[in-house]
Amino acid sequence: MVAAARLYFRGGPLSAPFVLVAAFACVSLLLSIITSPAVDVSVMKLLSFYIVSSSVLLGSLSLANADVTRLQHFFFSVALVVVFLSVLTLPFPGVAFNRNGLGFQGVFNHPQAAGVFYVPFASWLIARVLLERWSFLPRWVLGLAVVFSVMIAASGARTAMFATFLSVALTLIIFLVKGRSSPENRTRAQIIGSTLVMVCLGLAILASGAFNEELESLVYKYDSEEASGDLSAAFEASRGAAVDMHIRNFLDAPLTGHGFGVHREGVGGGERNIVRVMGIPVSAPAEKGIVFTAVLEEVGVFGGLLFYALLISIIAVAAGGSSPGASAMVIGAIAVNFGEAIFFATGGMGLFMWAVIGFGLARARADRGKAACRAAD
């Protein structure tokens, strides 16, 4: 709170995402006070989320170009160290596959966490490979894109794979609409051509049946036998049931929801799952799976619309720069919430993804400044 206050008092311009996160917090706070079965938990979670998100959004506006470059070196250095240390666990399968025996978790506590961690970096690199001209693209970018893609595949985390695919696909669409915003980027025709080549290559691999067994094992993984061979049943066995519950609870109270960060009946497991310090709830976990539907059951249609507007504004700011990597990284950090509801989390992977989002927004702002300087010259 003290660190956030330092940013607030510094002042400066307010971005659309900052205004929307404040509006979302205010609306969610009011609704939670009225409807939440555990008001103190909802208020504490909302306050924690607002402090982190607003600080990141403010801080991303105050970074100089040199700071942004240092942050970029920091993030990718951390990611490469994690890859290196994770590979070192391979001789000890009891550690590397300790959680489910299927996915490679490396130094993480679960393969799903490992896969999600790599998403922003894989998205950044793959987008650059597809959207930047080869004459400007350093060859190490292609090598690292392969490395992070392999790490995601090894984790077996379907959420991570889907998030990476979605982030790159949306970035392709965004830059198709924008056209070339920098001499380093490809033209619309080049983007379409390279995309068609990739799609045809993928279809040829699928038609050959070379990896059908591996793909089926990945898609259905350890879901119930009844779900094998049926994508809708596989989704229902993993996250679909939770989504159904979110929608039912939302329809039961579409205007107000049932309280931020809690279940309809309160905190799962009751009071024994709430850790309090001097009466303040400092921990009350609630696993919601997919944040995009969970937010509706928590804060209703008004809070939900503000939440979706916040996401769109964040992506719009990231897409305003000339770097496809920054856009893909931010979208990837958001897209992981299709399987891991960490957007509102303020510790661990959730906090890390907010830091990534802040860096992506700062990178986009720095790129816009460079483009303006080129235009002036």
What number is the average pLDDT over the span 78-86?
Answer: 96
What number is the average pLDDT over the span 252-258?
Answer: 92
Q: pTM to 2 decimals?
A: 0.88
Number of domains in the chain: 1
Given a cut of 60, whether residue 225 has pLDDT beyond it is no
Q: What is the DSSP letter of 257?
A: -
Tokens of residue 221, six digits: 């993984």
pLDDT for 233: 59
Q: List the alpha helices (DSSP H) in 227-340.
A: 231-235, 241-252, 291-319, 324-335
Given a cut of 90, whether residue 223 has pLDDT beyond it is no
Q: What is the DSSP letter of 132?
A: B
Q: Chain-wide mean pLDDT for the chain?
A: 86
pLDDT for 377: 55
pLDDT for 226: 47
pLDDT for 301: 95
Spatial distance between the Cα atoms of 356 and 100, rounded to a whole number of angstroms = 28
What number is the average pLDDT over the span 334-350?
Answer: 90
Spatial distance between the Cα atoms of 362 and 356, rounded to a whole number of angstroms = 10
Q: Is the dihedral of CA 43, 45, 48, 50 positive or negative?
A: negative
Domain encompassing residue 192: 2-376
Tokens of residue 24, six digits: 């979302």
Given a cut of 70, whether residue 51 has pLDDT beyond it is yes
